[in-house]
Chain A
Amino acid sequence: AAGVIQSPRHLIKEKRETATLKCYPIPRHDTVYWYQQGPGQDPQFLISFYEKMQSDKGSIPDRFSAQQFSDYHSELNMSSLELGDSALYFCASSLEGLAQETQYFGPGTRLLVL
């Protein structure tokens, strides 16, 4: 079965640079979530989109923005990168964005900021 696809899988950037992470949800899933997971920490919810509209917002820094496109893929744009942004960034998808719907996680993008 098709899973959530994230690209790139690994990314190295320098401070103050920008990065764009992409997420392709499971076919027919209409909701996308972004999480940030630091080393040894649990995933922190950043933002979610349902039917191309922002549906919920968590601890996403103002330097980050995201959107969901007409084909339901989503991009997380990160600007003015800081060392502390180094983490695993997960995308998850589900149907209808309801809490009882299982979120299927992608493999993650490992971002390293030098």
Chain B
Amino acid sequence: KNQVEQSPQSLIILEGKNCTLQCNYTVSPFSNLRWYKQDTGRGPVSLTIMTFSENTKSNGRYTATLDADTKQSSLHITASQLSDSASYICVVSAGGTASKLTFGTGTRLQVTL
């Protein structure tokens, strides 16, 4: 069964600090991996998307890495801001269409003063 596991489940950090979120997947075959940011009660917003051949991709203060051999990905947030408080969801695609997307349950990040 395709699965996406994220850790930690929740995280509290001080504003300005960095943090790293982890994603392990067992989706096969693998097409791509995405990180989404979801504010409470709102739709997910795409941060990065990586294919098999990509090891790292940045989007502003967000940097995602992918190790297709170990089936692990991380999302590093630099110099966190209060507005970074949200759930971060790792989504892995097995190719094809939307039903082949496997969502992780997310990491809830809270940035405090």
Which of A50-58, A68-76, A78-86 sits within the interface? A50-58
The number of chain B residues with a CB under 8 A from chain A is: 26
Q: How far is the CA of A98 from the CA of B97 in the complex (A)?
A: 6
Chain A residue with the shortest CB-CB distance to B102: A42
Pair B31/A100 contact, Cβ less than 8 Å: yes
Q: Are B43 and A105 in contact (CB under 8 A)?
A: yes
Q: How far is the CB of B91 from chain A (nearest CB, A)?
A: 9
Nearest CB on B from A17, distance (A): 23
In the complex, are the beta carbons of A90 and B43 less than 8 A apart? yes
Q: Is A2 an interface residue (CB 8 A)?
A: no
CB-CB < 8 A to B98: which residues of A? 33, 45, 48, 56, 58, 92, 97, 99, 103
A25 CB-CB contact with B under 8 Å: no
CA distance A103 to B49 in the complex (A): 11
* Set B34, B43, B101, B104: member contacting A45, Cβ < 8 A: B101
Smallest beta-carbon distance A33→chain B, Å = 5
Q: A residues within 8 A CB of B51?
A: 100
**Complex: chain A residue closest to B32, CB-CB:** A100
Closest chain A residue to B44 by CB distance?
A105
Contacts of A41 in B (CB 8 A): 105
CA distance A104 to B34 in the complex (A): 12
Report A50 CB to chain B, min CB distance, Å.
Answer: 8
**Chain A residues positioned under 8 Å from B57 (CB to CB):** none
Known: A56-B99, A99-B32, A105-B44. 17 other contacts (CB 8 A): A4-B43, A41-B105, A42-B106, A45-B98, A45-B101, A48-B97, A97-B97, A99-B31, A99-B98, A99-B101, A102-B34, A104-B46, A105-B43, A106-B43, A107-B42, A107-B43, A108-B41
